[in-house]
Chains A and B, each alone.
Chain A
Amino acid sequence: EAGVAQSPRYKIIEKRQSVAFWCNPISGHATLYWYQQILGQGPKLLIQFQNNGVVDDSQLPKDRFSAERLKGVDSTLKIQPAKLEDSAVYLCASRPDRASYEQYFGPGTRLTVT
């Protein structure tokens, strides 16, 4: 079974630029999460999708972050414009169904904002 795929793996941008991250979850997984992990901290939930609908985006800074999951499969997370404090690893995770709590994580995208 293929794991969660993310790209790019690394990205360096200047502040005020925009950036997009892509995630392809495990086939058949209905729930998809985006997390932000700042160095030395645990992953912080940004947004959760169930199929192509948003379940929770209460911690997403909506003035600069946006995410979509078209057709309930792949997802894209965008930051526009980026700030220095957005430097972090952005993790995508998926979960198979309502009966399972286990989340499967991708390798993450390391973003550096200069």
Chain B
Amino acid sequence: SQKIEQNSEALNIQEGKTATLTCNYTNYSPAYLQWYRQDPGRGPVFLLLIRENEKEKRKERLKVTFDTTLKQSLFHITASQPADSATYLCALDMGTGGFKTIFGAGTRLFVKA
């Protein structure tokens, strides 16, 4: 079955720097991959989706890459701000059709002022 690996250790960076989070998967290549943000006590919020035939996607200060050879997605936040501090979840389609999604455990990001 598909497994998603995200760095369980928190990422601490200085304000203004670029944060890079990694999502690795172990089995089949998903048709699409999503990134969500989750703040404490709240539900995840959708950020970006990238499809298997796309290499890179951008939205404001966010950039996602998708390498199906490495079975990896990288999520970048440029010019990071303390307000970017949150847990970031990677999510893949389960490959069984029907828009079912499997989520990674997430990586906690702390941006220090």
Interface of A with B (CB < 8 Å)?
4, 31, 35, 40-45, 48, 50, 55-56, 91, 93, 95, 98, 101-108
Leading 6 A-B pairs by shortest Cβ distance:
A105-B43, A42-B103, A102-B46, A42-B105, A43-B103, A105-B44
Count class of interface residues, chain B = 20 to 34
Interface of B with A (CB < 8 Å)?
4, 32, 34, 41-46, 49, 89, 91, 93-94, 96, 98-106
Closest-CB distance, A44 to chain B (whole angstroms): 7
B99 and A31 within 8 A (CB): yes
B43 and A95 within 8 A (CB): no
Give the chain B neighbours of A42 by CB distance below 8 A.
4, 89, 91, 103-106
B89 and A104 within 8 A (CB): no
Question: Told that A101-B101, A102-B34 touch, could you supply 20 new A-B pairs with CB distance under 8 A?
Answer: A4-B43, A31-B99, A42-B4, A42-B105, A45-B100, A45-B102, A50-B98, A55-B98, A55-B100, A56-B98, A56-B100, A95-B99, A101-B32, A102-B49, A103-B44, A103-B46, A104-B46, A105-B45, A106-B43, A107-B41
Can you name 19 A-B residue pairings with CB atoms under 8 Å? A31-B99, A40-B105, A42-B89, A42-B91, A44-B103, A45-B101, A45-B102, A48-B98, A48-B100, A56-B98, A95-B99, A98-B99, A101-B32, A101-B49, A102-B49, A105-B44, A106-B43, A108-B41, A108-B42
